[in-house]
């Protein structure tokens, strides 16, 4: 049989395998942020009616198309993200095989890496978090892969493969940790002066959280605070707190308490507070620590050079998207842009073509 047919068969097998893996990734993307087990129940279920989905209703891409994007039981709409993840995983598995077929031993680890990157990307899009199961899992998988297959780091020694993987993880962690801490020092607070005073209200929501409403905007209390030291300052024309009304009040808020007029009010003992707000100063981060752990995992798989390329590419892509968002909306202070998807994009870019791009760029510099 001609060699071409073998290539065609393995390419098709990689595509199908990617689709099947993508179906499982959808389970992870849905369940991990909700704290649900990815093993129980073993079969997928409808996010609306919770009915278990039969195997023939769960064929990657095809079942979604055949059911016209709806559950076969309750007819609730199933998001287009599900076939998109399956198709994207299948395509990337195929591309990995084609790109690295001459070094076939690295294909398996790169498939694992692609799967982790996709889960991180779509969870970050939906929830603005990257779970530790993914970030730490990526780092551990990268270290073990490079120990077992040192060719991932361009080495033949298992010890050197592990060493360079550790260097990559440390470089990634250290680089973004410095960005997070430096960004906190330089841009850790945002002051918003309202054109006119607006009503605000704080109300407990559930056992461990609350909701803050300012005019028409609403935000979970926990979203304001990334660290125990973070402080939200409310400058109010009117404040109603603990059954008393105050005017021209400045309220300092922390994740678990309020400080006003020399007194401390534990939030666990408050049912709510409200008033008229004219100005507020809220804490912010350059990025979340999930991104710091995530780039450590990327470095563990791809090495220290990939870290700098990934961060640069992600920053450029994120900046372009940020500028476009600012252009279409004046409410720039309320934008949330997850950085994880751009790190994923930069990492995949490096994996498929990064060294070639860097060499091309240095060639331009030498010519210039």
Tell me the C-alpha to C-alpha distance, in Å, between residue 250 and each of 107, 240, 241, 274, 280.
59, 12, 12, 13, 9
- Report whether 163 contacts 299 (CB < 8 A): no
pLDDT tens readout for residues 45-57: 888 888 888 888 7
Q: What confidence score (pLDDT) does residue 188 get?
A: 84
Q: What is the mean pLDDT of residues 280-286?
A: 87
pLDDT beyond 60 at 333? no
Q: What confidence score (pLDDT) does residue 183 get?
A: 84
pLDDT tens readout for residues 6-17: 778 888 999 999
Q: What is the mean pLDDT of residues 60-78?
A: 85
Nearest to 248 by CA among 317, 197, 318, 313: 197
Q: Residue 51 — φ and ψ, nearest 5°?
A: -70, 140
Q: What confidence score (pLDDT) does residue 149 get?
A: 97
The token pair at 88 is 């994207």
For residue 204, list its beta bridge partners.
Answer: 210
- Per the document, the length of the chain is 368
CA dist 90 and 12 (Å) reads 10
Q: Tokens 């991104």 map to which residue?
A: 291
Q: What confidence score (pLDDT) does residue 367 get?
A: 66
pLDDT beyond 70 at 41? yes
CA dist 171 and 186 (Å) reads 22
Question: Domain boundaries in the chain?
Answer: 1-100, 128-188+288-368, 189-283
CA dist 52 and 50 (Å) reads 6
CA dist 319 and 312 (Å) reads 11
Q: What is the mean pLDDT of residues 103-111?
A: 95
pLDDT beyond 90 at 1? no
Strand order from edge to edge, sheet including 263-266: 217-220, 209-214, 189-205, 272-283, 232-241, 244-253, 257-260, 263-266
> Hey, which of 49-53, 140-144, 192-196, 358-362 has the most confident mean pLDDT?
140-144
CA dist 215 and 32 (Å) reads 33
pLDDT beyond 90 at 83? yes
User: What percentage of the chain has pLDDT greater than the value 90?
Assistant: 61
CA dist 245 and 239 (Å) reads 6
Q: What confidence score (pLDDT) does residue 271 get?
A: 87
Nearest to 223 by CA among 182, 284, 270: 284
Instruction: Output the pTM of the full model.
Output: 0.85
Tell me the C-alpha to C-alpha distance, in Å, between residue 139 and each of 9, 97, 252, 355.
32, 22, 39, 22
CA dist 129 and 9 (Å) reads 38
The token pair at 249 is 């009040």
CA dist 195 and 282 (Å) reads 17
Q: What confidence score (pLDDT) does residue 330 get?
A: 55
């Amino acid at each position: 049989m001609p060699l071409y047919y073998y290539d065609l068969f393995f390419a098709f097998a990689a595509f199908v395998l990617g689709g099947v893996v993508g179906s499982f990734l959808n389970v992870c993307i849905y369940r991990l942020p909700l704290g649900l087990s990815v093993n129980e129940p073993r079969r997928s279920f409808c996010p609306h009616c919770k009915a278990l989905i039969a195997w023939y209703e769960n064929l990657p891409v095809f079942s979604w198309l055949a059911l016209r994007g709806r559950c076969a039981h309750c007819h609730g709409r199933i998001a287009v993200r599900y076939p998109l993840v399956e198709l994207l995983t299948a395509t990337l598995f195929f591309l990995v095989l084609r790109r690295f077929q001459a070094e076939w031993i690295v294909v398996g680890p790169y498939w694992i890496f692609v799967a982790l990157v996709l889960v991180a990307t779509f969870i970050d899009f939906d929830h603005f978090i990257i779970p530790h199961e993914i970030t730490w899992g990526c780092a551990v998988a990268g270290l073990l892969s490079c120990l077992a297959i040192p060719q991932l780091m361009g080495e033949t020694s298992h010890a050197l493969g592990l060493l360079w993987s550790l260097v990559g993880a440390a470089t990634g962690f250290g680089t973004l940790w410095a960005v997070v801490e430096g960004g906190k020092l330089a841009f850790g607070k945002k002051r918003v002066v309202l054109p006119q005073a607006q009503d605000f209200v704080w109300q407990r929501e559930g056992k461990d959280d609350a909701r803050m409403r300012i005019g028409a905007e609403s935000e979970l209390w926990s979203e304001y605070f990334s660290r125990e030291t973070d402080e939200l300052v409310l400058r109010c024309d009117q404040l109603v707190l603990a059954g008393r009304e105050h005017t021209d009040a400045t309220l300092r808020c922390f994740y678990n308490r309020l400080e006003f007029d020399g007194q401390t009010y534990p939030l666990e003992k408050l049912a709510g507070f409200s008033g008229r707000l004219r100005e507020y100063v809220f804490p912010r981060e350059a990025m979340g620590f999930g991104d710091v752990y995530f780039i450590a995992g990327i470095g563990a798989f791809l090495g220290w050079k990939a870290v700098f390329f990934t961060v640069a590419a992600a920053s450029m892509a994120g900046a372009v998207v940020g500028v476009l968002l600012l252009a279409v909306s004046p409410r720039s202070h309320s934008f949330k842009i997850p950085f994880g998807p751009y790190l994923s994009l930069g990492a995949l870019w490096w994996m498929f073509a990064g060294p070639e791009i860097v060499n091309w760029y240095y060639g331009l510099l030498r010519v210039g």
